[in-house]
Amino acid sequence: MTSLGYFLSCEEFPPDELVRQAVRAESAGFERLWISDHFHPWNGEQGHSPFVWSVIGALSQACSLPITTAVTCPIVRMHPAVVAQAAATCAVQLDGRFVLGLGTGEALNEHITGAHWPPSATRREMLKEAVDVIRSLFTGKQISHRGPYFTVDNARIYTLPARSPPIYISGFGPRSARLAGRIGDGYQSTMPSRELVSEFRDAGGVGKPTQAGFKVCYAPTAGEAISTAHRLWPNEQLPGELAQILPTPAHFEQASSLVPASAVEEAVPCGPDLKPYLDRIRAFFDAGFDEVYIQQIGSGQGRFFDFWESEVVPEIAV
């Protein structure tokens, strides 16, 4: 069963605004929420980065939608034992409507403790061990762990949900998609790639849920929307591994200065025309994703939700 959710951007908005958006998203017909987990925004224009676990606590009291972190990195900035406790608490607050989305992260957020930022192969190994630690702690037993990357000494989580939250794994390449199939309860991506979904399925993901998200920018004119998207999210169009290795928002601003507005226009559904929005949604569902999350770029959230209710919902309900 396919469904549509709203993607809350912690990089763009303070906590109270994120809560307002979640409430409005539910009333507009969205069925679930994604929420990003960052220490820094990607650039100074975005301007925010609240602590996601506090925001989820507020969301649990404000709306009834399921929530998935997209995504939390449990390998450098936060020890997996701390992530396990945070996730367990959220699952209790949300009465089982919480999914823990995990990934290998970015230097932008993880280098802040001064720890070495490892190469991608090492980060995947660290993630696998972190998932093992988190699942062990979800049992409610006291555990000790001595692994190549993490140590846990006589830890036990006392506040636990009736059922452990599912763990979905984010992956943007075939190795990560296969890892998600092996160790995850589901898969997350931001690309409408049938090939990556197949890699996930072939590696053990048959029958497991798949999630994906993308950005849009609704505005009364295409020009206004393109300008807003280019100002706030040019980093989305950076090539290769830059998103994983650049360490500060200033570095992203420098690299993004090379991204033309035309690249954003080509990649992001912008403006009042309904067709690009519907085409992008269908591309993800056609690629095999079960849940698709949409993030409105910029401050025009009210305009977007009105557009969604009046223009998009009637089309997707057909």
At residue 12, does pLDDT exceed 90? yes
Q: Which amino acid is at 148?
A: P
In the chain the first and final C-alpha atoms are separated, in Å, by 15
313 pLDDT band, cuts 50/70/90, is very high
136-165 confidence digits (pLDDT tens): 999 999 999 999 999 999 999 999 999 999
pLDDT value, residue 231? 98
Percent of the chain with pLDDT over 70: 99
At residue 1, does pLDDT exceed 60? no
pLDDT value, residue 2? 87
Element (H, E) at 293: strand 291-296
65-87 confidence digits (pLDDT tens): 999 999 999 999 999 999 999 99
Q: Which residues are catalytic?
A: 38, 106
* Tokens describing residue 139: 């049992």
Q: What mean pLDDT comes out for the span 217-227?
A: 98
At residue 16, does pLDDT exceed 90? yes
Mean pLDDT of the chain: 97
The answer to whether the CB of 21 falls within 8 A of the CB of 10 is: no
pLDDT value, residue 183? 98
- Measured distance CA(130)–CA(108) in Å, rounded: 20
264-303 confidence digits (pLDDT tens): 999 999 999 999 999 999 999 999 999 999 999 999 999 9
Q: Which of 279, 237, 241, 275 is nearest to 258 (CA)?
A: 237
Q: Give the three-class secondary structure for 20.
A: helix
Give every CB contact of residue 12 below 8 A, 6+ residues apart in sequence.
41, 46, 47, 48, 232, 297, 298
pLDDT value, residue 317? 78
Q: Quote the crossing angle between the two packed helices 52-62 and 15-27, to the nearest 10°.
A: 40
- Measured distance CA(107)–CA(117) in Å, rounded: 6
At residue 186, does pLDDT exceed 90? yes
- Measured distance CA(227)–CA(248) in Å, rounded: 23
pLDDT value, residue 229? 98
224 pLDDT band, cuts 50/70/90, is very high
The answer to whether the CB of 69 falls within 8 A of the CB of 37 is: yes
Q: What is the pTM of this model?
A: 0.97
82-111 confidence digits (pLDDT tens): 999 999 999 999 999 999 999 999 999 999
At residue 318, does pLDDT exceed 90? no
